[in-house]
């Protein structure tokens, strides 16, 4: 399906709302029925009808259709955050006694679920270095129910070979789920590579303006229906109509924003790589990246987010760099209009800081929509304040 068609037309039904270009926000909790029979049908199959907005809502449905098509999936559910999409996708597919294999250091709230919540229900998780396919097979047990991937990872950008992991999982009858937030389906299409469930946060690139949260879970019609009927309706964390409307608006400009960010990122990375205060830049499409060949094989683009390894002996130097930035802000998240940094050391107690540990000197950078020269000048003056 044509990308322009998906973003501008798919799912929209303009004749039914005054030929308005922008869709209406159907801000209602419930829907009325004329006959008992119709009501009975809706109770029997809530996915077939509008009954209550905890389930389906017309504004959210426009977004659902677009996001499923973007991923090349049969169907999708949209949640009020990426974390909720992860939670529902995993919970719907494991039971007591099951085992999960996850990539090392997945998104922090995925990790919290694996470490803190799932063990209470008898589900255990093994973390592996997912870069090597043999690590997946050797960690697999008889009770392994799911392989959890995140490629690239959002701090060190480690990749998994999606086709190889999907093929291994199929052979062993194991479900695969990926966090595809870094790429979005514009730059990586996991379902087409054999992954069963593709999750992404919509808070980042899809929203694109740092003004709403959202999460997407794509899969087969059967899988999505199963999750809808239990976890989705039970957790009640579906996206609200206004937030869905913001995400539809974000989608209109997604390709243009990613293009811009891609071009700016390569300029910013090129500048940083030459700077004496920068030991290295970790970025999947950079020639120095250990898995650059795999990145270029399974991703059609990389942009925005990368990690800077600073040449620093003391935490003070990293702190001075971050606090000297005049325009680039210090905040979590990414994917919006604004450039951001976040130093790894903000999560490390002062006494534990060890400059010989490369990870302690990580500063994650997100390149937004500003002029790259403006960003480079800001980074340059802040790097100058380190010593
Ligand atoms: C932000 C993020 C999430 C969670 O998304 P929320 O919308 O913030 O809940 C999941 N995975 C990755 C890689 C993220 O960056």
- Report how far ligand 1's centroid is from the alpha carbon of 128 (Å): 20
Tell me the C-alpha distance between 174 and 125, whole Å.
Answer: 14
Q: What is the pLDDT of residue 24?
A: 98
Q: What is the pLDDT of residue 387?
A: 79
pLDDT in tens, 225-275: 999 999 999 999 999 999 999 999 999 999 999 999 999 999 999 999 999
Atom of ligand 1 nearest to the CA of 150: 13
pTM here is: 0.97
In degrees and rounded to multiples of 5, residue 145 shows phi and psi of: -105, -25
Q: From the CB of 153, is ligand 1 less than 6 Å away? A: no
- Report how far ligand 1's centroid is from the alpha carbon of 104 (Å): 16
**List of long-range contacts for 277-280, beta carbons under 8 Å, 24+ apart:** 277/310, 277/311, 277/312, 277/321, 277/383, 277/386, 277/387, 278/308, 278/309, 278/310, 278/311, 278/383, 279/309, 279/310, 279/311, 279/358, 279/361, 280/309
Measuring from atom 4 of ligand 1, which residue has the nearest CA? 82
- Report how far ligand 1's centroid is from the alpha carbon of 79 (Å): 12
Report the DSSP beta bridge partners of residue 78. 216
329 neighbors 342 (Cβ within 8 angstroms): no
Tokens of 95: 């039971």
Please name which of 211, 215, 213, 177 lies closest in space to residue 194, comparing C-alpha atoms. 177
List Cβ neighbours of 314 (8 Å cut-off, separation of 6 or more). 353, 355
Could you write out the three-class secondary structure of 171-223? HHCCEEEEECCCCHHHHCCHHHHCCCEEEEECCCCCCCCCCCCCEEEEECHHH
Q: What is the pLDDT of residue 155?
A: 87
State which of 87, 177, 203 you would mutate to test the pocket of ligand 1, scoring each by most atoms of that ligand within 8 A of its C-beta: 203
Tell me the C-alpha distance between 33 and 31, whole Å.
Answer: 7
Domains and their CATH numbers in the chain: 3-252 (3.40.640.10), 254-383 (3.90.1150.10)
A 10 A CB-CB count for 262 gives: 16
Atom of ligand 1 nearest to the CA of 85: 9
Q: What pLDDT tens digit does each residue of the chain (387 aa) get?
A: 899 999 999 999 999 999 999 999 999 999 999 999 999 999 999 999 999 999 999 999 999 999 999 999 999 999 999 999 999 999 999 999 999 999 999 999 999 999 999 999 999 999 999 999 999 999 999 999 999 999 999 889 999 999 999 999 999 999 999 999 999 999 999 999 999 999 999 999 999 999 999 999 999 999 999 999 999 999 999 999 999 999 999 999 999 999 999 999 999 999 999 999 999 999 999 999 999 999 999 999 999 999 999 999 999 999 999 999 999 999 999 999 999 999 999 999 989 999 999 999 999 999 999 999 999 999 999 999 997
Measuring from atom 11 of ligand 1, which residue has the nearest CA? 107
Q: Which residue has the tokens 């960003």?
A: 375
193 neighbors 183 (Cβ within 8 angstroms): no
- The total number of residues shown for the chain amounts to 387
- Report how far ligand 1's centroid is from the alpha carbon of 7 (Å): 22
Q: From the CB of 213, is ligand 1 less than 6 Å away? A: yes
Q: Which residue has the tokens 């990414």?
A: 334
Q: What is the CA radius of gyration of the chain?
A: 22
pLDDT in tens, 322-334: 999 999 999 999 9
Q: From the CB of 201, is ligand 1 less than 6 Å away? A: yes
């Amino acid at each position: 399906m044509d990308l322009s068609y998906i973003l501008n037309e798919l799912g929209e039904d303009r004749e039914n709302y005054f030929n308005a270009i922008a869709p209406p926000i159907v801000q209602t909790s419930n829907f009325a029925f004329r006959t008992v029979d119709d009501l009975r049908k809706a109770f029997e199959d809530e996915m077939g009808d509008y009954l209550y907005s905890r389930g389906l809502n017309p504004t959210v449905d426009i977004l659902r259709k677009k996001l499923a098509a973007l991923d090349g999936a049969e169907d999708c559910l949209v949640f009020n955050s990426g974390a909720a999409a992860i939670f529902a996708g995993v919970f719907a597919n494991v039971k007591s006694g099951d085992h999960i294999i996850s990539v090392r250091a997945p998104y922090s709230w995925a990790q919290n679920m694996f470490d803190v919540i799932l063990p209470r229900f008898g589900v255990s998780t093994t973390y592996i270095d997912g870069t090597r396919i043999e690590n997946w097979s050797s960690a697999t047990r008889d009770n392994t129910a799911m392989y959890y991937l995140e490629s690239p990872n959002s701090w060190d950008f480690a990749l998994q070979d999606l086709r190889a992991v999907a093929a291994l999982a199929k052979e062993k009858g194991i479900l695969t789920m990926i966090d595809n937030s870094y790429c979005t389906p514009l730059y990586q299409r996991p379902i087409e590579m054999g992954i069963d469930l593709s999750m992404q946060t919509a808070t980042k690139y899809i929203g694109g303006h740092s003004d709403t949260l959202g999460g997407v879970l794509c899969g087969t019609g059967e899988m999505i229906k199963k999750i809808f009927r239990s976890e989705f309706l039970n957790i009640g964390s579906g996206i609200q109509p206004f937030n869905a409307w913001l995400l539809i608006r974000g989608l209109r400009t997604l390709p243009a924003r990613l293009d811009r960010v891609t071009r700016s990122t390569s300029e910013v990375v090129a500048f940083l790589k030459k700077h004496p205060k920068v030991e290295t830049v970790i970025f999947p499409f950079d020639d120095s990246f250990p898995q650059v060949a795999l990145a270029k094989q399974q991703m059609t683009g990389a942009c925005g987010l990368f990690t800077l390894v600073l040449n620093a002996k003391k935490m003070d130097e990293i702190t001075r760099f971050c606090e000297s930035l005049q325009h680039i802000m210090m905040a979590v998240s990414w994917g919006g209009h604004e450039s951001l940094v976040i130093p790894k050391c903000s999560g490390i107690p002062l006494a534990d800081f060890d400059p010989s540990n490369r990870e302690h000197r990580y500063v994650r950078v997100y390149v937004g929509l500003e002029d790259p020269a403006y960003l480079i000048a800001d980074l340059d003056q802040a790097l100058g304040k380190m010593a």
